[in-house]
Structure 1
Amino acid sequence: MSNMNVSLRQLRAFIAVAAEQNFTRAADKLDLSQSSVSTLVHELEANLGLRLFDRHTRLLRITQAGAELLPLMKKAVSDIDSVILSSNELKTLGRGRVSIAASSVQAALLLPRFIKQFCIEYPDVKVELYDVAEHEVPKMVCSGEVDFGIGTESGNRLDLAAHLLSADAFVVVMRADHALARKRELRWQDLVDVPLIGPRQGNPIRERLDRALATEGIVLSRTHEAYLPLTMVGMVEAGLGIAVMSTAVTKLATGLGLVTRTLTNPVIKREVSLLFHADRSLSPTAQRFRDSLVRNKLEMSQD
């Protein structure tokens, strides 16, 4: 038994002969020669150590052992056919699943329209979107919880790879009645000693910003901290201070009656990247989603 080498072709030949009760008709059905089908059945019998058919001059009859094995072999072939079909559907995106993690702003304002277009093209593919805090995105990608993420790459993880999608400039978000709102353009130096609302320590956007400002000798202090951009915008609207955020929140901020001003001297941008595990391969479905996202570079969601 340990040397048994039953092939799918042998099983198909046996099932066809059992159905036709004739080697020639079975051969026609399988588009093989009669001798090939006969050989396959003989090989199967040898592998199993069982006679599957009683052969007479003008009569072919399945044996009791063959009759008992027939439904099992049909199910085995059917299961294998299902696996082959499923793999073909995955290759052609007939169905499948894609999972992506993104910060709440990217998840709410940038990705939905892209996901909608992708689902129109591939209606049987399920796209799972996880809206999380910015610092959670790389963790979920590295742990394998999601196929990839949209976020800022901190550069301190060797198992994380990044593909740049876009770059957002930093802006000040504030109430229209704030003193700084009267200025058409703000410098980073204008924010020193001003009560600021910002992300907590460990947030990759904050880390990138603080490093860039440190080279200019500028240090910002946060009076209030929060994990989610929506919370920060709400705190600004309530009059707790002003926030330094990326241009991605502009639509949300203006919708609440707040104003934004670009920060200059220097102009600092937050990079938005597609994050994926450096050593883990993607499914064909996830690859197509990734390629479409990279090709569009989120432009369709930012126009």
Structure 2
Amino acid sequence: MLITLDLRQIRYFIALFEEGSITRAAERLHVVQPAVSMQIRKLEAEYGLTLFDRTSQGVLPNEIARDFYKICLRVMEDVETAHHFLVGANGRVMGDIAVGVPPTLSLGTMARIVRRYCERFPEVKLRILEGYSSSIVSWLESGEIDIGVLTNEYSETKLFSRPLIEEELFAVAAKNHPKIRASSINGREFAALDVILPSEPNLLRRLIDTSFAEAGVTLKPVLEIDSLATVLELVRNGYATLLPGHAIADLLDRFDLQALPVAEPVIKRKLIACYNSQKLLSKAAEAFIDTLREDLSQYGKAADDTAAPEPLA
């Protein structure tokens, strides 16, 4: 069977589906309106079906069109992947990538990483989205982002992971906190402070709760707050919290804070870069993971990346 469906018809169909108007679709495609109408009519005639209902308000996709739209999006994604593969084969790093990062990474460290990456790879268009683990995983599964930074506590079989660093959590408090006089703190001493933690089921909160419970220390936060900026403002005014080194390294002086190692329990976690196992990582995405690992290695033990990517399980 001769397949006559081509990429132009798919692009025109996607534009009309999303715009709901031949006029707007033509403007988006930078073509005249009859060109859009002709390609859609040709597509419908070739397969003997109707994709859109024509009304005075525009065009409305039917059920067949809605299912076909999902297929077309995957086709265009694969075409883009093929394009980036061929471009990368000659050594050039270019294209578009989207990265999802947690708030602890975005507030302090991410600006420096982005600057370094964009200086090295000026032909890449980079987009950064901030969110918690559940949002990042959802974005990865839907194709909204190419890379997501997560911790190894997350279990998701549809994602592949690459290690970044193993890092330690520090007790963070104001430099002049009246109850802190040493350069380190144990779990019981920390639990006696006015502690702020993220709300459940946050993965960082889960790790903290489990670690303190295993050490036989009762930790009851006086506040549960999921905004890192708000937490830091409160911490500079007498509260305390637990954060990874990369989250506060660039913020201690700005907020007049101190970071103390915690003993009994010592809390460590691994940061990982994740991506959808159904997608081929572009050269641009590979380069971003390398830049992440290079920068974050100053805050913890560099993770071994000699093994092949592994599924999260």
Structure 2 unaligned segments of length 5 or more: list them.
5-80, 301-313
Q: Is the 8 A contact 1:173 1:245 kept in 2?
A: yes
* Structure 1 segment 25-40 matched on structure 2, within 5 A: none
1:46 matched residue in structure 2: none
2:284 matched residue in structure 1: 285
SS in 1 for 2:109: helix
1:267 matched residue in structure 2: 266
The alpha carbon displacement at 1:3 in A equals 5.8
SS in 2 for 1:182: coil
The alpha carbon displacement at 1:151 in A equals 2.8
Once the two structures are superposed, residues 127-169 of structure 1 have per-residue CA deviations (whole angstroms, 9 ceiling, x without a partner) of 1111234553333223321111123232332223332211222
2:101 matched residue in structure 1: 102
- Compare relative contact order (CA 8 Å, sep 6+) and give the higher one, 1 or 2: 2
2:242 to 238, 241, 244: 244
2:196 matched residue in structure 1: 197
SS in 1 for 2:179: helix
Read off the aligned partner of 1:170 and give its amino acid letter.
L
SS in 2 for 1:145: coil
Q: Is the 8 A contact 1:237 1:258 kept in 2?
A: yes
Distance 1:222 1:136, change over 3 A: farther
1:123 matched residue in structure 2: 122
Structure 1 unaligned segments of length 5 or more: list them.
6-82
1:257 matched residue in structure 2: 256
Distance 1:287 1:176, change over 3 A: closer
Aligned counterparts of 1:112 and 1:176: Cα–Cα separation in 2? 25
Q: Mean alpha-carbon deviation: is it higher for 271-280 or for 216-225?
A: 271-280
The alpha carbon displacement at 1:292 in A equals 4.6
TM-score (norm 2): 0.61
Distance 1:116 1:176, change over 3 A: closer
Read off the aligned partner of 1:149 and give its amino acid letter.
G
Q: Is 1:177–2:176 an aligned residue pair?
A: yes
SS in 2 for 1:117: helix
Distance 1:281 1:178, change over 3 A: same
Read off the aligned partner of 2:96 and give its amino acid letter.
R
* Structure 1 segment 38-187 matched on structure 2, within 5 A: 88-91=86-89, 92-93=91-92, 95-187=94-186
What's the C-alpha RMSD, in Å, of the aligned pairs?
3.0
TM-score (norm 1): 0.63
Distance 1:171 1:300, change over 3 A: closer
- In the alignment of these two chains, the number of paired residues is 222
Choose 1 or 2 for highest CA Rg.
Answer: 1
Distance 1:278 1:206, change over 3 A: farther
1:208 matched residue in structure 2: 207
Once the two structures are superposed, residues 19-77 of structure 1 have per-residue CA deviations (whole angstroms, 9 ceiling, x without a partner) of xxxxxxxxxxxxxxxxxxxxxxxxxxxxxxxxxxxxxxxxxxxxxxxxxxxxxxxxxxx
After the TM superposition, list the runs of 4 or more consecutive aligned residues in structure 1 that deviate by more than 4 angstroms.
2-5, 83-87
Aligned counterparts of 2:172 and 2:88: Cα–Cα separation in 1? 45
Q: Mean alpha-carbon deviation: is it higher for 266-275 or for 135-144?
A: 135-144
Aligned counterparts of 1:259 and 1:214: Cα–Cα separation in 2? 25
Aligned counterparts of 2:82 and 2:158: Cα–Cα separation in 1? 32
SS in 2 for 1:179: coil
The alpha carbon displacement at 1:201 in A equals 0.5
Aligned counterparts of 1:142 and 1:186: Cα–Cα separation in 2? 40
2:296 matched residue in structure 1: 298
Q: Is the 8 A contact 2:197 2:224 kept in 1?
A: yes
Q: Is the 8 A contact 2:245 2:299 kept in 1?
A: no
Q: Is the 8 A contact 2:100 2:149 kept in 1?
A: yes
Read off the aligned partner of 2:284 and give its amino acid letter.
T
Once the two structures are superposed, residues 152-201 of structure 1 have per-residue CA deviations (whole angstroms, 9 ceiling, x without a partner) of 23233222333221122222211233233212221012123432101110
Distance 1:179 1:130, change over 3 A: same
Aligned counterparts of 2:2 and 2:275: Cα–Cα separation in 1? 43
Work out the percentage of aligned pairs sharing the same amino acid.
19
Q: Is the 8 A contact 1:198 1:226 kept in 2?
A: yes
Read off the aligned partner of 1:129 and give its amino acid letter.
I
Distance 1:194 1:144, change over 3 A: same
Aligned counterparts of 1:85 and 1:148: Cα–Cα separation in 2? 19
